[in-house]
Copies of this chain bind each other. A is one copy, B any other.
Amino acid sequence: MTELRPGDASLLRKVNTQATLRALRREGVATLTQLGRITGLSRQTVEAVLDELGERGYVREVPPDEGAMGRPARRFGFRADAGYVVGVEVGGDTIVAALADLGGEVIAWERAEVDSDAAAHERLDAARRTSLACVDGAGVARTRVWAVAAGTSGIVDRTGRVSLSITLPGWTGVDLAGLARRWFGCTALAANDANLAALAEHWRGSARHASDVVYVMMGRRVGAGILIGGRLHPGRGGAAGEIGTLRQVGWEDAARELVKDASAAGVFEAALRGDRDARRRVDRYAETLAIGASALALAIDPDLLVLGGGYARVGDVLLEPVRRHLAELCVSVPEVVASTFGDEGVALGAVRLALSHVEREILGL
């Protein structure tokens, strides 16, 4: 993209191109007149803009609609298949990759297991293989991938390097974005998993209508992601939301007590059956979670608090006590909802991050 100097007369064209492209991406397929109405531009201008976009490969003419009154209008569609993005979660014991087109439609998923004790290079290799398999399996040429984003637990700085990880062996210091860049030879981004999960909820999940969001990832490891104004808020060093490291909050050991001598699923099931000890353990976990969550909520005063992560799918057994403790702790409790996505959230958020990058840097939106 050329810069937008004031004085550049083609500024107007750029603004109009963006407006048109945005409208067309939302509509999928539209006629000149329709786009004109939406964007407020004249038909002629829309036509000129679409010509340009057609040459750049983002827009294609599709067969006209039949059976309508009057002369059939030429119809144009956004070429969602002009390019692709990959989002991948590099987790403790699973890798989840998603391939999406420029329209944000997820074309293919790919999963792989990885040993939780695996060394960094093994984990990276698994992530690479899974991402490539996802793209290859969908029959998409690797060169057509325009951006990759990876999500992982731990603190990820703004260059995409893991600056601190306490769960994954050898993970601290790994330049995740730098390495992922080589997978497809395109730009790569990396971010914290909870942040990406939050982004996914804002994109297509339960946080669609919220602007400031706190997402709490409940699982063996507890983490939080923050959205401000609908955008990722990683903070100066990518550590925003790391409230759990505060001793008084104690997210680090939250799960340890919960699953002592048992599996998490077992404890939740027992609690559901009414087992006293299991209930107590779940309640304790919920309280720990709620303390951190309330600290985040008080700090940020978000529109919405989303509860997600691996343990979220057990439902009210866990959500109810979290809600109860939150109500006790916060003066003004934010709205609390359960996350929409299961274990796909992080990869989906990564897709959204990659897509945003493409929209900004390549499409110029």
Spell out A's residues near B (CB within 8 Å). Answer: 5-7, 9, 11-12, 15-16, 19, 39-42, 45, 164, 212, 226, 228-229, 233-243, 245-249, 291, 294-296, 298-303, 329-332, 334
Determine the residue in chain B with the shortest Cβ distance to A294.
Answer: B246
A311, chain B: closest CB distance, angstroms: 22
Given contacts A7-B45, A299-B300, 10 further A-B contacts (CB under 8 A): A9-B12, A11-B12, A228-B229, A236-B303, A239-B298, A243-B298, A246-B291, A246-B329, A249-B295, A300-B300
Question: Is the pair B242, A233 in contact by a Cβ cutoff of 8 Å?
Answer: no
Hey, which chain B residues are within 8 Å of A245, CB to CB? 298, 330-331
A69 to B331: give the CA distance in the assembly, Å.
68
A157, chain B: closest CB distance, angstroms: 10
Question: Is the pair A246, B298 in contact by a Cβ cutoff of 8 Å?
Answer: yes
Hey, which chain B residues are within 8 Å of A19, CB to CB? 6
A-B contact pairs, 11 of them (CB 8 A): A6-B15, A6-B41, A7-B41, A212-B235, A235-B301, A236-B302, A236-B334, A237-B301, A245-B298, A248-B248, A296-B299
A240 to B11: give the CA distance in the assembly, Å.
38
A177 to B6: give the CA distance in the assembly, Å.
37
Known: A245-B331, A246-B294, A246-B329. A226 touches B7 (CB 8 A): no
A249, chain B: closest CB distance, angstroms: 8
Hey, which chain B residues are within 8 Å of A6, CB to CB? 15-16, 19, 39-41
A330 to B239: give the CA distance in the assembly, Å.
11
A302 to B234: give the CA distance in the assembly, Å.
10
Hey, which chain B residues are within 8 Å of A331, CB to CB? 164, 239, 242, 245
A329 to B240: give the CA distance in the assembly, Å.
15
